[in-house]
Amino acid sequence: MLFKKKQKEPQAPRTVSVWREYGEMIIEVMVFVFFINTFLLQSQAIPTPSMVNTMLIGDHLLVNKVFLAPSLGKWDSFLLPTMEIKRGMIITFKGPAEPDKDYVKRVIAIPGDTIRVEGKQVYINDELTIEPYTRFLNDKRVRDMDNFPLNEPRILDALGNVTYLPFYFKDNSDRLDMNRTKAVCDKFKNAVELSPKDGKRVFRIPPGHVFCMGDNRDNSYDSRYWGPLPRDFVIGKPWRIYWSYESQTEEYLTPGILHKLKDIALTVVHFFSRTRWSRTFKKFD
């Protein structure tokens, strides 16, 4: 008995070119990545020692941006839980003095709080704050910037206007920008008041702002220098370290394409020896 060989059914003619299919796939992946980076998670590297020892230079973070998203209802809150910014929380944000840079600092005071820094010790609402995460240099001298507000007023301009706020801004030439400096000092001058407890000057955090400082207090450019952070500048909350690579600040901040290419090549060569494996997937509370 002879069996006829089953003939293959004719395939439908291709209506879309291979190149178009690949192009659509690439666009879909890009849209997906853009959505995640814009609304859910963002990658960020630590280029400076301002958060040592909590965060080290070369820590690469995943930043949770969902916790700041406005809730649209109970189901929205269940699927994408949000939280309020609290004291002690580490956040990432756009720098008020340098909006093109992303910063990572710790929230020290929230709206309505009063803050005073006296001899490197922080007082919130006239109570000394215990900060086990802080780090100080060996230099025990107390500088003007270790007190906030200032103990003595400083002159702002030739007219003799003074302020107890140490805020200052620099221009593109790394020189003092008097216009911006005077503007921010004038903006927050009414936030300086006398404590009813001991009569010392304190700074009251305005509505819609938080006061941030780095854990490495003697090496941190923070709210002591550029003022309280507007809530709208906050990006998110660090979630986990997905990679930690032993490096120096210069490797991140030195400009130039040649330096970047050299840095990439050295990273490939030293990937295994300089990766801090023990910090991989470390979670931040």
- pLDDT tens digits, residue range 43-76? 899 999 999 999 999 999 999 988 665 545 555 5
Whether the Cβ atoms of residue 23 and residue 37 lie closer than 8 Å to each other: no
Q: 118 lies in a domain?
A: yes
Q: 263 lies in a domain?
A: yes
Task: Please tell me which residue, 9 or 203, carries the higher pLDDT value.
Answer: 203
- The pLDDT tens digits of the residues spanning 90-128 come to 999 999 988 889 999 999 999 999 999 998 899 999 999
Q: What CATH number should be reported for the domain holding residue 180?
A: 2.10.109.10
Q: 97 lies in a domain?
A: yes
Q: Is the pLDDT of residue 26 over 80?
A: no
Rounded to whole angstroms, how far apart are CA atoms 81 and 69? Answer: 9
Residue labelled with tokens 């994408």: 80
pTM of the model: 0.81
Q: 68 lies in a domain?
A: yes
- Tokens standing for residue 156: 């702002």
Rounded to whole angstroms, how far apart are CA atoms 121 and 280? Answer: 32
Q: Is the pLDDT of residue 35 over 50?
A: no
Q: Is the pLDDT of residue 86 over 90?
A: yes
Q: 4 lies in a domain?
A: no
Residue 32, pLDDT score: 43
- C-alpha atoms less than 13 angstroms from C-alpha of 89 in its C-beta half-sphere: 20
Q: 230 lies in a domain?
A: yes
Whether the Cβ atoms of residue 192 and residue 212 lie closer than 8 Å to each other: no
Vertex 14 angle, CA 8 and 17, to 5°: 145
135-to-49, 138, 264, 271 alpha-carbon distances in Å: 11, 10, 31, 28
- The pLDDT tens digits of the residues spanning 157-183 come to 888 889 999 998 988 888 889 999 999
Residue 171, pLDDT score: 85
pLDDT tier at 33, thresholds 50, 70, 90: very low
- 186-194 mean pLDDT: 95
Residue 108, pLDDT score: 98
Residue 105, pLDDT score: 97
The mean of the pLDDT values for the chain is 84
Task: Please tell me which residue, 160 or 237, carries the higher pLDDT value.
Answer: 237
Instruction: Give the count of domains, the chain.
Output: 1
Residue ranges making up the domain that contains 125: 20-279
Rounded to whole angstroms, how far apart are CA atoms 129 and 154? Answer: 27
Give, for 250, the enclosing helix (H) or strand (E). Answer: helix 249-253
Q: 75 lies in a domain?
A: yes
- Tokens standing for residue 176: 């003092």
Q: 58 lies in a domain?
A: yes
Per-state percent for the chain, helix, strand, coil, to nearest 5: 30, 25, 45
Residue 174, pLDDT score: 83
Residue 7, pLDDT score: 59
Task: Please tell me which residue, 209 or 12, carries the higher pLDDT value.
Answer: 209
- The pLDDT tens digits of the residues spanning 133-163 come to 999 886 666 676 689 999 899 998 888 889 9
